[in-house]
Amino acid sequence: MPSLRHLSVVLAVALCAPLSAHAIEFSAEELARAKALQQRLVTLDSHLDTPANFGRTGFDIEQRHDRNALSQVDYPRMVEGALDGGFWAIYTDQGDRSAAAHLAERDHGLQRLLEIREMLAANPARFALASYLLELLGRLAPEGGAPVDLKRLFEFALAALRAVDAATPDAKLRAFLELRALHALGLCPELARCVRCGRALAGEGRVGFHVGEGGPLCAACGAGVEGVLPIHLGTLRSLERGLRLDLDRLGRLALGPATLSEARELLARFQRFHLGLELRSQRFLDGILSGATPPAA
């Protein structure tokens, strides 16, 4: 006669069998279609219990934990599984509802909150660059724009976030992605021609960039014009190359320190002129990417 324990094991196996059989019924083609669809969608997990692991020895959100060792969620597998975002949960067991238990639960919640903050602070560049790009798009995207334009912007935002995933989040990537964001918004500065006479600019020298007119002036048109930003034509050409390249290859474009510094100045002034204010995430990102301690948020 089978024992109760044996019966429950048989029952559990019987209940699981149809599920696992069902799970392997998808063909490779069906799975590929489902995966392609998920890549196009924004996938959010409304309840990530991962913060419970932040305080555990050996857990690092940036490292892959295969076979769910320590956690089901980490950054490499979030990228691989096309999880675009989620909500970190602060889970606290309910105690006996005494005053002492309430205090212990409060402390536990605060501790978890602190661990989430520490996780963000330990990986700031990627999060800061992603936030900055989304804030820029959010501020400059047209209110009530045509659906086709908003869809294009949305697709750009997803592609830009994936580029932040794939490359090292540094000042160079920031400059190229910022330029691409302005381009996606229809606000890209002119980079190749004089904005007054339309002549293509050639050579290696410096020209004046007129922020208000949105581009460079040739020597003839720029003579006597005050308040322009001096910039090397090589810098403008480098930025132009960044406009033509696939977003996921931007990390491979070289940009020397002097060129990067000029590009940064141009984009900062151009963006400030058109935006009319400083983005909330800007100073924080500036600090992170320059290696300085960012101001308290």
Site residues, Zn ion (CB under 5 A): 194, 196-197, 218, 221
In the complex, what is the shortest distance from the CB of residue 182 to Zn ion, in angstroms, rounded to a whole number? Answer: 22
Nearer Cβ to Zn ion (112/210): 210
Residue 139 makes CB contacts below 8 A (sequence gap 6+) with 275, 277, 279
Closer CB to Zn ion, residue 184 or residue 221?
Answer: 221
Q: How far is the CB of 235 from Zn ion (least distance, A)?
A: 18
Q: Could you tell me the smallest distance in angstroms from the CB atom of residue 204 to Zn ion?
A: 18
Q: Residue 172 phi/psi, 5° resolution? A: -65, -50
Nearest approach, Cβ of residue 197 and Zn ion (Å): 3
Which one, 51 or 208, has the nearer CB to Zn ion? 208
Which is nearer to Zn ion, 196 or 241 (by Cβ)? 196
* Three-class SS state of 87: strand
Reference 234, options 261, 206, 196; nearest CA is 206
Whole-angstrom Cα distance, residue 161 to residue 267?
19
Nearer of residues 88 and 209 to Zn ion, judged by Cβ: 209
Cβ 201 to Zn ion shortest distance, Å: 8
Q: Which is it for the CA torsion 177, 181, 183, 189, positive or negative?
A: negative
CA 103, 109, 110, 114: dihedral to nearest 10 degrees?
160
